[in-house]
């Protein structure tokens, strides 16, 4: 538990430093590309201090200069760190409006170009999605957690329709991303941070041009099926099981 407290103190400090850095860098280059690099440094530093190792599979599937809607399963707060730290492309997050109201942190999000989603009522939510779709259509890649919130058991929950509405409206391909291992590192509802291995598996883009609002449910089922199958593959193919790897990694950390 002491280790988790130390990590938490580091997170507070590095978040303040990187947020101020991101704000400063945003004045030198529009679009938030430089500021995004500050965010990447922030994520990698937290992962390093937490003794979490990330492996990425399938990078060859994506063009770093193309515009995509990345959709990832959501098991832990460490999903954000793994994606921000180790997905080597420029992208922006879709984040709820309330996060933009946090002092310093919220301003840095706005300066980087993250997209605010107002979920206070149906009308505001729809307007936010329309504005987000316009930005995506103009060439801004985004990451979305289609489950809407973190899974409590590590399995993939049913998807929300909002992200698929964006995909259909913007016409951009969806890249399914499966994250495995963060549920062990820090599951939903827990404050304890454990060392371990996280695998990020990237799939080939799924074209959305042939879908519309009437057929987006089929698109949702396609993406969810891809992600569920890959999650099962990761569970089955990790050497001696991911749990054993975590125990081995934790033992090395204690010895060091």
Q: Which fold has domain 2-255?
A: Glycerol-3-phosphate (1)-acyltransferase (3.40.1130)
Mean pLDDT of 201-226: 94
Res 51: pLDDT:
92
**pTM for this entry:** 0.85
Dist CA 15 CA 42 (whole Å): 7
Res 180: pLDDT:
94
Res 241: pLDDT:
46
Domain boundary assignment for the chain? 2-255
Dist CA 115 CA 29 (whole Å): 18
Mean pLDDT of 150-168: 89
Residues 6+ apart with CB under 8 A from 141: 66, 67, 68, 69, 70, 89, 90, 91, 92, 172
- pLDDT, tens only, 110-149: 777 788 777 666 777 777 777 788 888 888 899 999 998 8
């Amino acid at each position: 538990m002491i280790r988790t407290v130390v990590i938490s103190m580091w997170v507070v400090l590095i978040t303040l430093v990187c947020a101020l850095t991101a704000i400063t860098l945003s004045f030198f280059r529009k679009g938030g590309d430089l500021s995004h690099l500050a965010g990447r440094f922030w994520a990698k530093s937290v992962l390093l201090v937490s003794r979490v190792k990330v492996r990425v599979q399938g990078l060859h599937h994506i063009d770093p200069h193309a515009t995509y809607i990345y959709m990832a399963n959501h098991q832990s707060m460490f999903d954000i760190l793994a994606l921000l730290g180790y997905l080597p492309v420029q992208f922006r997050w879709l984040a709820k409006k309330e996060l933009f109201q946090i002092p310093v942190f919220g301003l840095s999000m706005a300066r980087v170009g993250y997209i605010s989603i107002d979920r206070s009522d149906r009308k505001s939510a729809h307007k936010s999605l329309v504005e987000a779709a316009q930005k995506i259509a103009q060439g801004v890649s985004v990451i979305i957690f289609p489950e809407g919130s973190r899974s409590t058991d590590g399995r993939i929950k049913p998807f929300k329709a909002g992200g698929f509405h964006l995909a259909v409206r913007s016409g951009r391909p969806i890249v399914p991303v499966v994250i495995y291992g963060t549920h062990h590192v820090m599951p939903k509802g827990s404050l304890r941070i454990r060392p371990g291995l996280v695998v990020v598996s990237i799939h080939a883009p799924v074209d959305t041009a042939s879908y519309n609002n009437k057929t987006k449910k089929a698109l949702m089922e396609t993406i969810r099926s891809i992600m569920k199958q890959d999650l099962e593959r990761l569970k089955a193919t990790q050497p001696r099981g991911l749990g054993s790897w975590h125990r081995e990694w934790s033992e090395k950390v204690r010895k060091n």
